[in-house]
Chains A and B, each alone.
Chain A
Amino acid sequence: MAVKVRIPTPLRRITANQGEVDAEGATIGGLIEDLEKKYPGLKERLCDETGAIRRFVNIYINEEDIRFMQGKDTSVKDGDEISIIPAIAGGSEV
């Protein structure tokens, strides 16, 4: 499956400043492996040492959080839009 993946600005250094990249895979886990091949270093920003998706990074298929589907095993289909949304905390110093 070929899908578009939205990359948040903090991770665009790894994707040569691209905000949207193409990736292939049958599942979210497969997409992450494909992205790692194309953009080495991306996987460790998304997954911990055990391979689980980090708890302060969310991945969405269209509008839905994969944590509420099958996580990394969630299947993707052509045309799905995948978004990586890390927690951000900027505002003011309190």
Chain B
Amino acid sequence: MLSFTDEQIKRYSRHIILPEVGGKGQKKINNAKVFCVGAGGLGSPVALYLAAAGVGTIGIIDADVVDLSNLQRQILHATPDLGKPKVESARETLTALNPDLNVVVYKERLSVDNIMDIIKDYDIVLDGSDNFPTRFLVNDATYFAKKILISGSIFRFDGQVTTFKHNLETSPCYRCLYPEPPPAGLVPSCQEAGVLGVIAGTIGVLQATEALKEILGAGDSLMGRLIIYDAFDMRFQEVRIHKDPNCPLCGREPKIKELMTYEQACHL
């Protein structure tokens, strides 16, 4: 039988009264384990909304400390948190929002050496990283580990979001969309860095929405579709992502059989 405390019934009542969620769905949310790559612009709205929704275990990796220039968009952190490790600030913010939550923090950089061991404990990985080497690493690792990857990225006034269901053989992967990262100095270039802070919210909330639907097993996912958000012209566009039979990772004759490290092209 579903066992909720009176407080939980009240806290999650707006979920529980939704026929598509109900007590059963809320229990799935409470038992879910998700992993956020980054406690920054995208990781903030992702983790906040998933914590509010009652996701039982939220893992967060980030090696950095809170900097004043982060606060324009990284809403997990506030001015008194300056200088504090982002994962500690995140833990405090999230547990204040929802004491039911188990927050697992990793104050380190994600690498070939630690990623497989970390993600094995989670159902869903949400990528909010700011660089291509990490993005390809997360794609490859979640593919090998057969984990669902919900990928969001932002740059200037643009955002992209999609879902890769690496637990299904029919799903494309990030390399089907973009086979290789840009070499150093090419599009998008370091000189053009910058982002309208609020776009992190838009894209992160779409990622969190996809995560909740995967947990609930409800609705149509973004698998095979890329949503492109152009905030400047206020346009959402959708394009197809095909599984590429020639994909170096998930194609018929894969060339990539183990994790690899790319050189950091541009650290924004």
Complex Cα distance, B200 from A88, in Å, reads: 13
Complex contact A65–B155 (CB within 8 A): no
Complex contact B38–A93 (CB within 8 A): yes
* A-B interface pairs (CB < 8 A), number: 143
Complex contact B155–A88 (CB within 8 A): yes
Which residue of A45, A67, A88 is within 8 Å of B153 (Cβ)? A88
A interface, how many residues as a size bin?
Answer: 20 to 34
Complex Cα distance, B109 from A59, in Å, reads: 33
Is B121's CB within 8 Å of the partner chain A?
A: no
Complex contact B158–A93 (CB within 8 A): no
Which residue of B62, B132, B179, B230 is within 8 Å of A9 (Cβ)? B230
Q: Which residue of A lies closest to B194 (CB)?
A: A90
Is A91's CB within 8 Å of the partner chain B?
A: yes
Which residue of A19, A55, A56, A92 is within 8 Å of B130 (Cβ)? A92
Complex Cα distance, B237 from A20, in Å, reads: 13
User: Restricting to A1-17, which residues have a CB under 8 Å from any CB of B?
Assistant: 6, 8-11, 13
Given A92-B62, A94-B63, residue A9 in contact with residue B156 (CB < 8 A): yes
Given A56-B187, A65-B242, A68-B242, residue A9 in contact with residue B232 (CB < 8 A): yes
Complex contact A91–B239 (CB within 8 A): no
**Chain B residues at the A interface, C-beta cutoff of 8 Å:** 37-43, 61-64, 74, 86, 109-110, 127-132, 134-135, 152-160, 177-182, 186-189, 192-193, 195, 200, 226, 228, 230, 232-233, 237-242, 244, 267-268
